[in-house]
Amino acid sequence: MRYIPLILSCLILAAHHSRGGEPGLMGLWLTLPVALFFRRRWIDRAIQLMLLAGAFEWGITVKAIIDVRQMMGLPYLRMALILGGVTLFTALSGLLLETAGRKKRLPIDDPVGPGLGAFLFTVLLLTCVQLFMHPTGLLAERFLFAAGWWEAFWLAIYAGWLSDRLQDARQIRKLRPRVWLVFSVIFFTQLILGIAGLEKLLMTGKLHLPVPALILAGPIFRGGGFFMAILFTASVLLVGPAWCSWLCYIGAWDDRLSRAVKRPDRLPKWRNLMRVIILVAMVGTAFLLGKLGVGAATAGWLAAGFGLFGVGLMVFWSRRNGNMVHCTAYCPMGWLATRMAKISPWRMKISPSCTDCGACTPACRYDALYPEDVLNRVPGEACTLCGDCLSNCPTNSIEYRMPGLSADRARMVFLIMVTAMHAAWIGVARL
C-alpha cells in the first residue's frame, strides 16, 4: 500500500508526457517503479529525486498554462489549484519510502554515497550529452523521441549498482573485467549494425575504425575531427590512466586473453621504448599521408593493418605471457594515457602495512607490480588504476590516493567517477 502514491504519481506523469507527444519520457515514468525491486537505500534516494524532478515538471506546466490563459483572458485559478495539488502530491509521494516497513526490507549496513554518487554523476554527464550534443549522442533518442532521458536514467541506475558493488574490494577483480567486456561487446555490436545499414547507430556516418591509435592519428591525417581526442583527454584528466582499464573498447579483449595464464611473466625492458617509437612513427605517418593527399581508403587499410597486428599480439603473446601485451607494449594511446595521468590527482600507493607477500603480483595484467615495485611501495609506470590488485591484497595495503582525501574516501570517489563514465560511454552513439 505504501507504494501506491508513488506509482500513481508515475502514472500521472506518464499520461502527461503521453499527451505531450513524448513517448520516451512516458516510458521513463512507467518503468521507474521497477527500480523499487533493487532494495538499496541509494535507490530510494534516486527515486525520491526523480519524483522531485517530476514535481518540477508539473510546476513548469502550471506556469505555462497560467501564462497562456492570462494572455487569452481566461480564468486559471481552479486549474492552478488542481495541478498545484498534483505537484505537491508528486513531491511528497517519495517520502513514503522513509517508512519503517520499507526500511526493514533494506540491508542493515547500506551506504548511500557510492551508489547515489555514481547515479548523479552519470545523470549529469548524460544530461550534457542530451542537451548540448547535436545530433543527439544518446542512441535511444534516435529511435524514439525523448527516449534519451529514459536511457540516461537506467544507465545511471546501472552505474549506481556497479559502484555500490565495487565498494567491496574483493569484487573489483571479479566484476570489472566482466562489465568491461560487456562494454566492448556493446560497442562493437553497435558498430557492426551501423556498418550493416542502421546508420542511426553511428555518430556522424563517417566511419572511424575502432583502433585506439586513430584517436590521435585520425585528426592529424584529416586535419579535424577532434571529438574522440577531446573525450580521451577529458577522461584521463578525470580518472587518470583508468581510460585503459575501463573505457577502451579494445583493451577488454587483451584483458580476457591475458587471463589464460594464471601468473604473468615479465615483459622485455624495451617494451616502453617500443611504444614511444610506435607513437612517433604513427604521428609522422598520419601527418605525411595527410600532406601528400593520400586517399582515405588507402589510409584506412593502413590503419586496419595496424589494428589487426595488435589483435595478433593479443592472441599470440598476451595469451601466453599473461600480461596485456597490446596495451603495455604496442598501443601508443596507452603510453600517452600513463604519461598524461601525471597531471591527474589520482595515484595508487602501497602503504607501510604491506608485508611483501607478493599476492598482488599475479593479479596485475599491466606489468606494474613486480617485487621491486612492491618494495618501492609504488606500482610501475604502466599501472592503469584498474584496482584488480586490491582484491588480492590480504592486508588491504594497496590504496587509491588523492590529495585531501582518506584512502577509503579516495577509493569511493574514484569508483564513483569511473563507473559513471563507464556507464555514460555505453550510451553515447558510436563513431
**What is the three-state SS of 355-417?**
CCCCCCHHHCCCCCCCHHHHHHCCCCCCCCCCCHHHHHCCCCCEEEECCCCCHHHHHHHHHHH
The yes-or-no verdict on residue 431 having pLDDT over 70 is: no
Tell me the C-alpha distance between 294 and 310, whole Å.
23
The yes-or-no verdict on residue 101 having pLDDT over 70 is: yes
Instruction: Give me the pLDDT at residue 384, please.
Output: 93
248 phi-psi bin (left φ>0, alpha ψ -120 to 50, beta other): beta
Instruction: Give me the pLDDT at residue 224, please.
Output: 77
Sign, CA dihedral 57-58-63-65, equals positive
Tell me the C-alpha distance between 165 and 168, whole Å.
6
pTM given for the model = 0.92
311 Cβ contact list (under 8 Å, min separation 6): 253, 326
* Cell numbers at 220, concatenated: 592529424
Tell me the C-alpha distance between 390 and 164, whole Å.
16
Query: Is residue 108 very low, low, confident or very high in pLDDT (cuts 50, 70, 90)?
Result: confident
Query: Is residue 117 very low, low, confident or very high in pLDDT (cuts 50, 70, 90)?
Result: very high
Query: Is residue 204 very low, low, confident or very high in pLDDT (cuts 50, 70, 90)?
Result: low
Tell me the C-alpha distance between 359 and 394, whole Å.
8
Instruction: Give me the pLDDT at residue 205, please.
Output: 52
| Burial zone of 402 (CB within 10 Å; 0-12 exposed, 13-18 middle, 19+ buried) | middle
Query: In 10 A of CB 320, how many CB atoms?
Result: 14
Sign, CA dihedral 232-235-240-242, equals negative
Instruction: Give me the pLDDT at residue 121, please.
Output: 96
Whether the CB-CB separation of 216 and 230 falls below 8 Å is answered with no
Region 267-278: what's the mean pLDDT? 90
Instruction: Give me the pLDDT at residue 206, please.
Output: 56
The yes-or-no verdict on residue 209 having pLDDT over 80 is: no
Instruction: Give me the pLDDT at residue 325, please.
Output: 93
Lowest mean pLDDT of 23-32, 65-74, 220-229, name the range. Answer: 220-229
The yes-or-no verdict on residue 159 having pLDDT over 90 is: yes
Instruction: Give me the pLDDT at residue 106, please.
Output: 82
Residue with cell string 547515489: 116
Measure the CA angle with vertex 99, ends 93 and 104; round to 5°. Answer: 135
Lowest mean pLDDT of 91-100, 188-197, 230-239, 259-268, name the range. Answer: 188-197
317 phi-psi bin (left φ>0, alpha ψ -120 to 50, beta other): alpha
Query: In 10 A of CB 354, how many CB atoms?
Result: 17
Query: Could you read off the pLDDT of 347-401 as tens digits, one per residue?
Result: 999 998 999 898 999 999 999 998 898 998 989 888 999 999 998 899 989 999 9
The yes-or-no verdict on residue 277 having pLDDT over 60 is: yes
Residue with cell string 569508483: 415
Tell me the C-alpha distance between 93 and 89, whole Å.
6
Instruction: Give me the pLDDT at residue 300, please.
Output: 86
The yes-or-no verdict on residue 14 having pLDDT over 90 is: yes
Query: Is residue 104 very low, low, confident or very high in pLDDT (cuts 50, 70, 90)?
Result: confident
Query: Is residue 207 very low, low, confident or very high in pLDDT (cuts 50, 70, 90)?
Result: low
Instruction: Give me the pLDDT at residue 179, please.
Output: 94
133 Cβ contact list (under 8 Å, min separation 6): none
Query: Is residue 169 very low, low, confident or very high in pLDDT (cuts 50, 70, 90)?
Result: confident
Instruction: Give me the pLDDT at residue 91, please.
Output: 93
The yes-or-no verdict on residue 196 having pLDDT over 90 is: no
Region 290-310: what's the mean pLDDT? 89
Whether the CB-CB separation of 400 and 385 falls below 8 Å is answered with yes
Tell me the C-alpha distance between 11 and 86, whole Å.
12
Query: Is residue 181 very low, low, confident or very high in pLDDT (cuts 50, 70, 90)?
Result: very high
Encoded amino acid at 181, one letter: L
Tell me the C-alpha distance between 429 and 190, whole Å.
8
Which of 205 and 320 is assigned the larger pLDDT? 320
Instruction: Give me the pLDDT at residue 75, please.
Output: 87
Nearest to 123 by CA among 96, 151, 147, 103: 151
* Interstrand relation of 398-401 and 347-350 (parallel, antiparallel or unpaired): antiparallel
Nearest to 142 by CA among 66, 63, 201, 74: 201
Instruction: Give me the pLDDT at residue 105, please.
Output: 81
Whether the CB-CB separation of 62 and 81 falls below 8 Å is answered with no
350 φ, ψ to 5°? Answer: -110, 120
* Cell numbers at 217, concatenated: 592519428
Q: What percentage of the chain exceeds 90 in pLDDT?
A: 53
Please give the mean pLDDT across all residues of the chain: 89
The yes-or-no verdict on residue 203 having pLDDT over 80 is: no
Region 278-304: what's the mean pLDDT? 90
| Residues paired with 399 in a beta bridge | 349
Q: Please state, in angstroms and as integers, the Cα–Cα distance from residue 247 to each residue in 185, 417, 419, 420, following that order.
A: 12, 12, 10, 11
CB-facing half-sphere around the CA of 138: CA atoms within 13 A: 27
Lowest mean pLDDT of 131-140, 154-163, 306-315, name the range. Answer: 131-140
Nearest to 244 by CA among 353, 388, 131, 99: 388
pLDDT winner (highest mean) among 210-224, 259-273, 404-418: 404-418
Whether the CB-CB separation of 86 and 12 falls below 8 Å is answered with yes
Whether the CB-CB separation of 173 and 391 falls below 8 Å is answered with yes
Region 76-103: what's the mean pLDDT? 89
Query: Is residue 208 very low, low, confident or very high in pLDDT (cuts 50, 70, 90)?
Result: low
Encoded amino acid at 306, one letter: F
- Torsion angle (degrees, nearest 10) of CA 412, 413, 416, 421: -140
